[in-house]
């Protein structure tokens, strides 16, 4: 799921020192990115999505719109089909209402987006933190530490990612609640974040380790060692700043993968619990009705695809902008 081929991410380093034109790497990258119109559009789209996820539910609350309010007056008594065309689209409910309950689809989407982004963003941050720290330590230490970490990575990578997230969901969610994390969706969300990061870090750790292997032989590290810097300083003050390019690219490509993964898990019925919904569970329930009301499939699907495509395009553009070999 998150297996971004390492060859795609590695192969360049954040060589801030190597650029001699007097501009920092950040300035160069930003200059390249801002000339990439598609990347800019994606960035705007993503900012909008995050704004909607943060502010949307608050605004909806002010107007008294809630994804949990049942509107039995909007659906037929027999079978629960919404009145009106396309799932009951109206001024009050611009994206229609849910079959059987009459709950507002636009409100569901806003709340669902918030849950998706919370899960994917936190899981990405944790994956990146774990992968970076473990990768740096493995690459710099070498010897048996590196060997041990290498075997650990082999072990974690041997688990089929989707299957393990799925397989552990019942048992581990139960265990989280017995550790004092509130039952219901909080424990489900915490579970998803934890399991995604615990089984997702080796992909990044491999890339980071490879970069560190070459960085540790460089003069500036030698100089730091000669000056008597301790290991923590060498690892995190000297080496880490040179790694942010591959890490950033990896993070931008992992986030959409995690959004997709959360959607798949909710689709399969092991993600977020009702009455909360996310893209996956909305699409799963659309299966029963999309023959009659196709908007149930297309509205959440389109919102999801735009989000994921924007992230992927931005990640690609970022990789190109950070590539020192690229001619611009």
Footprint of another protein (CB under 8 A): 1, 3, 5, 7-8, 151, 154-155, 157-164, 166-172, 174-175, 177-179, 256, 260, 263-264, 267-270, 280, 283, 286-287, 290-291, 294, 297, 301, 304-305, 308-309, 312-313, 316
CA distance 314 to 33: 9
CB of 320 to another protein, least distance (A): 12
Torsion of CA 151, 157, 158, 162, to 10 degrees: 160
Sequence-distant contacts of 295-300: CB under 8 A, at least 24 apart? 295/86, 295/87, 295/89, 295/95, 295/96, 296/87, 296/96, 296/99, 299/95, 299/96, 299/105, 299/109, 300/105, 300/109, 300/112
Run of H or E residues at 146: helix 143-158
SS3 174: helix
State the chain's maximal CA–CA distance in angstroms: 81
∠ CA 175-178-184, rounded to 5°: 80
CB of 8 to another protein, least distance (A): 8
Query: Among residues 45 and 162, whose Cβ is nearest to another protein?
Result: 162
CB of 212 to another protein, least distance (A): 23
Query: Among residues 8 and 60, whose Cβ is nearest to another protein?
Result: 8
Residue 37: other Cβ atoms inside 10 A: 9
SS3 104: strand
CB of 16 to another protein, least distance (A): 26
Query: Among residues 170 and 184, whose Cβ is nearest to another protein?
Result: 170
4: Cα separation from own chain's centroid: 13
Query: Among residues 122 and 173, whose Cβ is nearest to another protein?
Result: 173
CB of 123 to another protein, least distance (A): 16
CB of 27 to another protein, least distance (A): 28
CB of 290 to another protein, least distance (A): 6
Query: Among residues 305 and 326, whose Cβ is nearest to another protein?
Result: 305
Q: How would DSSP label each residue in 48-87?
A: HHHHHHHHHHHHHHHTT--TT---GGGB-TTTTPBSSSTT
CB of 318 to another protein, least distance (A): 15
Query: Among residues 45 and 240, whose Cβ is nearest to another protein?
Result: 45
Beta-bridge partners for 104: 97
CB of 154 to another protein, least distance (A): 6
Q: Taking Cα atoms as reference points, which of 285, 298, 301 lies closest to residue 103?
A: 285
Query: Among residues 15 and 154, whose Cβ is nearest to another protein?
Result: 154
The three state secondary structure string of 283-324 is: HHHHCCCCCCCCHHHHHHHHHHHHHHHHHHHHHHHHHHHHCC
Query: Among residues 87 and 102, whose Cβ is nearest to another protein?
Result: 87
Query: Among residues 206 and 216, whose Cβ is nearest to another protein?
Result: 206
């Amino acid at each position: 799921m998150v297996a971004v081929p390492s060859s795609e991410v590695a192969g360049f380093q954040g060589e801030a020192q190597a650029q001699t034109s007097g501009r920092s790497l950040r300035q160069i990258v930003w200059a390249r990115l801002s000339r990439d119109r598609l990347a800019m559009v994606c960035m705007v789209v993503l900012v909008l999505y995050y704004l909607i996820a943060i502010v949307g539910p608050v605004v909806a609350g002010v107007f008294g719109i809630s994804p949990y309010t049942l509107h039995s007056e909007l659906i037929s008594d027999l079978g629960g089909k919404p009145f009106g065309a396309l799932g009951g689209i109206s001024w009050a409910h611009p994206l229609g209402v849910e079959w059987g309950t009459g709950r507002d689809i636009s409100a569901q989407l806003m709340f669902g987006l918030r849950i998706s982004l919370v899960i994917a963003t936190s899981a990405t941050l944790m994956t990146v933190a774990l992968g970076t720290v473990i990768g740096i330590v493995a690459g710099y230490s070498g010897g048996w530490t590196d060997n041990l970490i290498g075997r650990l990575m082999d072990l974690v990578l041997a688990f089929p990612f989707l299957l393990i997230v799925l397989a552990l969901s019942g048992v581990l969610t139960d265990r989280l609640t017995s550790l004092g994390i509130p039952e219901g969706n909080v424990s489900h969300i915490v579970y998803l974040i934890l399991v995604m990061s615990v089984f997702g870090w080796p992909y990044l750790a491999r890339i980071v380790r490879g970069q560190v292997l070459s960085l540790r032989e460089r003069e500036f590290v030698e100089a730091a060692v000669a000056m008597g810097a301790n290991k923590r300083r060498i690892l995190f003050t000297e080496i880490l700043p040179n790694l942010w390019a591959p890490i950033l690219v990896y993070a931008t490509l992992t986030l959409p993968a995690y959004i997709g993964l959360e959607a798949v898990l909710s689709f399969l019925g092991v993600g977020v619990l009702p009455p909360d919904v996310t893209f996956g569970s909305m699409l799963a329930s659309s299966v029963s009705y999309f023959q009659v009301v196709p908007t149930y499939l297309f509205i959440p699907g389109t919102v999801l695809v735009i989000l994921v495509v924007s992230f992927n395009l931005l990640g690609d553009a970022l990789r190109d902008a950070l590539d020192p070999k690229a001619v611009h």
